[in-house]
Amino acid sequence: MPTAPLSRETLLPRLAAHVLEHGLGGASLRPLARAAGTSDRMLIYHFGNKETLIADLLGYIADIYSAALDAALGPQRPQTRQECLARILAEGRKPAMAAFLVLWWDIVAGSARGLPGYREAAHAMMARQLAWLEGQMPEDDPDPSGGARYMMTLIEGALMLSAVGHEDTALQGLLASGLLRL
Amino acid sequence: MPTAPLSRETLLPRLAAHVLEHGLGGASLRPLARAAGTSDRMLIYHFGNKETLIADLLGYIADIYSAALDAALGPQRPQTRQECLARILAEGRKPAMAAFLVLWWDIVAGSARGLPGYREAAHAMMARQLAWLEGQMPEDDPDPSGGARYMMTLIEGALMLSAVGHEDTALQGLLASGLLRL
DNA sequence: AGATTGATGTAGCGTCCGCTACAAGAGGAA
DNA sequence: TTCCTCTTGTAGCGGACGCTACATCAATCT
């Protein structure tokens, strides 16, 4: 049985799985290497240094996030903004999304602090989500661009409030917006 | 000249200043101690262990955040939701707020990940901000409670988008909400 | 006075960190 | 064959980490 060749491309999926589970903050070379079935020595060999590894990893995670959004596209568009929001909230409640969200706040924090690679990855992921959301807007919506950005702002605010235990505040905020019906 | 006595109370302000500048992620005992004019040995002596130190520090930061909000209360309430939002955005653009915001995303990330003390501090800070916002709602507002939560959700979403370089998306989202006029 | 307690310094433990030096094997090129 | 390059293993460097052992000194209490 030949051992699979190791390269950036074969390593990144396993590294991504590890940070999705354990976060970016405490991600150090030796645990990452163990999760990827190799050694810290080889991670440095393939990526040059840890900073590049993390930047590449963030780029890869942005890519698989895009792919997940593509896969989530339903066959037909919602007919109202309310329906659109309901779909998105349902999407965000999927269990696979939970790990992603925890990692997401790591990325936002790194972006706000200016860590190399974080802002680019976060920006790309949001841009992708915005494009996806625009594609999900009702066909007869009077202002799909503004509407998508409005919903985006609301959704991200609700997610943040939920992350700090203010699910109720988020829920009432969405209700008061008129975009959510119980 | 007698040296100032060291205690949790005298240490916390200096520790808070340090994490406001350097973040929570890389906060380790020796740099924290240097910033507070003492030794790692004494930090452990006063707080027991690092986890308790961070939890106490987060609580203290939540307190000074509350005090900052109190100080920001204007003499008279705004008369419309638009004016209310404009005030809050102006508040958030103050330079002192910038360091706070960077730290805030650290706290949100820790809260999402379940680190001890983070969720409590984040929840308290959001609760305080929500109360402040309710007090800022126009006196004749038809639904101050729901309106405050709605604006809160929008504002936090806009802050997050700004943190990842999507200031334009946030701006257009707020414009599309009708709560912001240029 | 003698004993007790609290606050602090010095030194160091064991562990993890990112990274490197060095050697060795495998496979292709001359 | 003889190189040479790519890939990998082993070992370890210097430093930071959280934390502890131990001693000291001043203040307080009996």
In this model, does residue B2 exceed pLDDT 60?
no
As given in the structure block, the two tokens for residue B82 are 């638009």
- Asked if A32 has any chain B CB less than 8 Å from its own CB, the reply is no
As given in the structure block, the two tokens for residue B123 are 């929840």
Residue with token string 């452990």? B44
Q: Contact B173/A146, CB-based, under 8 Å?
A: yes
Whole-number pLDDT of residue B117: 94
Q: How far is CA A29 from CA A19, A36, A64, B38, in A?
A: 11, 10, 22, 32
Chain B residues 50-109 within 7 Å (CB) of strand C:
none
Mean pLDDT of chain A: 93
**CB nearest to B160's CB, from A130, A160, A172:** A160
| Nearest partner of B125 among B144, B161, B150, B97, judged by Cα | B97
In this model, does residue A45 exceed pLDDT 80?
yes
**CB nearest to B164's CB, from A119, A169, A177:** A119
| Nearest partner of B104 among B84, B123, B85, B130, judged by Cα | B123
- Asked if B157 has any chain A CB less than 8 Å from its own CB, the reply is yes
- In this structure, are residues A156 and A174 in contact, taking their beta carbons and an 8 Å threshold? no
- Asked if B41 has any chain A CB less than 8 Å from its own CB, the reply is no
| Nearest partner of B88 among B145, B144, B140, B151, judged by Cα | B151
pLDDT per residue over A88-121, tens digit each? 999 888 998 999 999 999 999 999 999 999 999 9
Of all nucleotides, the one whose C1′ comes closest to residue A48's CA is: C19
Largest CA distance in chain B: 61
In this model, does residue A37 exceed pLDDT 50?
yes
CA-based nearest distance B5→chain A, Å: 34
In this model, does residue B135 exceed pLDDT 60?
yes
CB neighbours of residue B128 within 10 Å: 18
- The length of chain B in residues reads 182
As given in the structure block, the two tokens for residue A23 are 């976060």
Q: Helix A8-22 crosses helix A40-47 at what angle (to 10 degrees)? A: 120
Q: How far apart are CA B125 and CA A73, in angstroms?
A: 36
Q: Contact A113/B106, CB-based, under 8 Å?
A: yes
Q: What percent of chain B has pLDDT over 90?
A: 85
- Best of B102, B149, B175, B179 to disrupt the A interface (most A CBs within 10 Å) is B149
Task: Using the CB atoms, write b or e for B38-57: b if 16+ within 10 Å.
Answer: beeeebeebbeeeeebbbbb
User: Which structural domains are found in chain B, ordered by start?
Assistant: 8-177 (1.10.357.10)
pLDDT per residue over B22-50, tens digit each? 999 989 999 999 999 999 999 999 999 99
Q: Contact A150/B108, CB-based, under 8 Å?
A: no
Whole-number pLDDT of residue B4: 59
Whole-number pLDDT of residue A2: 39
Q: How far apart are CA A58 and CA B115, in angstroms?
A: 22
- Asked if B10 CB < 7 A from strand C, the reply is no
Q: Contact A105/B113, CB-based, under 8 Å?
A: yes
pLDDT per residue over A4-30, tens digit each? 677 889 999 999 999 999 999 889 999
Whole-number pLDDT of residue B120: 96
Average pLDDT over residues A47-53: 97
Q: Note the CA–C1' distance, A10 to D9, in angstroms.
A: 20
**Where does the pLDDT of residue B1 fall: very low under 50, low under 70, confident under 90, or very high at 90 and above?**
very low
Task: Using the CB atoms, write b or e for B95-125: b if 16+ within 10 Å.
Answer: eeeeebebbbbbbbbbbbbebebbbbbbbbb
For residue B179, what is the DSSP state?
Answer: S
For residue A4, what is the DSSP state?
Answer: P
Closest chain A residue to B153, measured at CA? A157
CA-based nearest distance B47→chain A, Å: 23
- In this structure, are residues A62 and A121 in contact, taking their beta carbons and an 8 Å threshold? yes
Q: What percent of chain A has pLDDT over 70?
A: 97
In this model, does residue B121 exceed pLDDT 80?
yes
- B165-171: long-range contacts, CB 8 A cutoff, minimum separation 24: B165/A111, B165/A119, B165/A122, B165/A123, B166/A123, B166/A126, B166/A127, B166/A130, B169/A126, B169/A130, B169/A149, B169/A152, B169/A153, B170/A149, B170/A153
Closest chain B residue to A180, measured at CA? B150
| Nearest partner of A32 among A11, A46, A62, A48, judged by Cα | A11
A-chain residues near B146 (CB < 8 A): 172-173, 175-176
pTM of the predicted model, to two decimals? 0.94
For residue A6, what is the DSSP state?
Answer: P
In this model, does residue A1 exceed pLDDT 50?
no
Alpha helices in B73-166 (DSSP H): 81-92, 95-113, 118-136, 144-163
Whole-number pLDDT of residue A175: 97
Average pLDDT over residues B160-174: 98
- Asked if A79 has any chain B CB less than 8 Å from its own CB, the reply is no
Q: Note the CA–C1' distance, A120 to D14, in angstroms.
A: 33
CA-based nearest distance A43→chain B, Å: 22
Distance, first Cα to last Cα, chain B: 57
Mean pLDDT of chain B: 94
Whole-number pLDDT of residue A4: 60
As given in the structure block, the two tokens for residue A124 are 């790309």
In this model, does residue B15 exceed pLDDT 60?
yes
Q: How far apart are CA B165 and CA A112, in angstroms?
A: 9
Q: Contact B105/A102, CB-based, under 8 Å?
A: no
